């Protein structure tokens, strides 16, 4: 019962934070609300006993993303530009894309269906052999680090490349400011 109350409380906080991040006009406040949202999601992952995913969410979502967004705010300012009235072609494109995406989900298996194709092919092997093949006591860690090791490696490479790109962009902006001062 206590776990259910914690989960409901976390869900309520997530919904409030998400609505606040979308509704607020200050980009800095929205960035901070998104960081709070990410840290709340990390707590959800802890509640689901996926501590490794929680660490990743806290580090990437709550840490790195927040720093990158705040660094971006240095260049674009803290306030959102006033939005023009509805641009009908864009609105139509969004509605059509949303309808196509929803239509695409109609053929998916029901959520949690044990007869879904992924649960019939790969998941039974992971569940049956994770401990003996990986020697990792946590099932989530075994899947992420061993079975999906290359995926995790390339995700790390993408994050590293994004950080390197940010450094190069900031270095270029600093050089342009120096040139303007001369």
pLDDT in tens, 79-127: 666 767 888 899 999 999 999 999 999 988 887 788 888 778 777 888 8
In a domain, 74, yes or no: yes
For residue 173, the model assigns a pLDDT of 67
Q: Which range among 14-23, 63-72, 128-137 has the greatest average pLDDT?
A: 14-23
Q: Identify the domain containing residue 20 by its residue range.
A: 1-81
For residue 13, the model assigns a pLDDT of 95
In a domain, 149, yes or no: no
In a domain, 177, yes or no: no
Considering only residues 103 and 147, tell me which one the structure prediction assigns the higher pLDDT: 103
For residue 8, the model assigns a pLDDT of 92
Whether 11 has a pLDDT exceeding 90, the answer reads yes
In a domain, 182, yes or no: no
Domain count, the chain: 1
| Pure H helices in the chain | 2-23, 27-47, 51-56, 65-76, 88-105, 117-134, 139-141, 149-181
26 - beta bridge partners? 79
In the three-class reduction of DSSP (H, G, I as helix; E, B as strand; rest coil), residue 20 is classed as helix
In a domain, 40, yes or no: yes
In a domain, 86, yes or no: no
**Quick one: average pLDDT of 16-24?**
94
C-beta contacts of 2-6 below 8 A and 24+ residues apart: 3/47, 6/47
In a domain, 68, yes or no: yes
Whether 174 has a pLDDT exceeding 80, the answer reads no
For residue 82, the model assigns a pLDDT of 73
Task: Name the pTM for this structure.
Answer: 0.58
Whether 36 has a pLDDT exceeding 70, the answer reads yes
CATH of the domain at 67: 1.20.120.1200
Whether 182 has a pLDDT exceeding 80, the answer reads no
């Amino acid at each position: 019962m206590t776990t259910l109350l914690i989960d409901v409380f976390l869900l309520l906080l997530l919904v409030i934070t998400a609505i606040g991040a979308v509704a607020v006009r200050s980009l800095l406040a929205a960035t901070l609300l998104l960081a709070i949202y990410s840290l709340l999601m990390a707590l959800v992952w802890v509640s689901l006993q996926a501590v490794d995913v929680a660490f990743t969410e806290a580090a990437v979502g709550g840490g790195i993303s927040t720093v990158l967004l705040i660094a971006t705010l240095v260049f674009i300012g803290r306030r959102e530009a006033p939005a023009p009235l509805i641009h009908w072609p864009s609105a139509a494109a969004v509605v059509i894309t949303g309808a196509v995406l929803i239509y695409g989900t109609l053929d998916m298996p029901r959520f949690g269906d044990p007869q879904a194709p992924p649960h019939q092919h790969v998941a039974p092997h992971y569940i049956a052999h994770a401990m003996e093949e990986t020697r990792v006591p946590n099932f989530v860690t075994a899947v992420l680090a061993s079975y999906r090791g290359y995926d995790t490696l390339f995700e790390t490479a993408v994050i590293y490349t994004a950080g390197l790109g940010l450094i190069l962009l900031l270095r270029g902006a600093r050089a342009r400011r120096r040139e303007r001062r001369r």
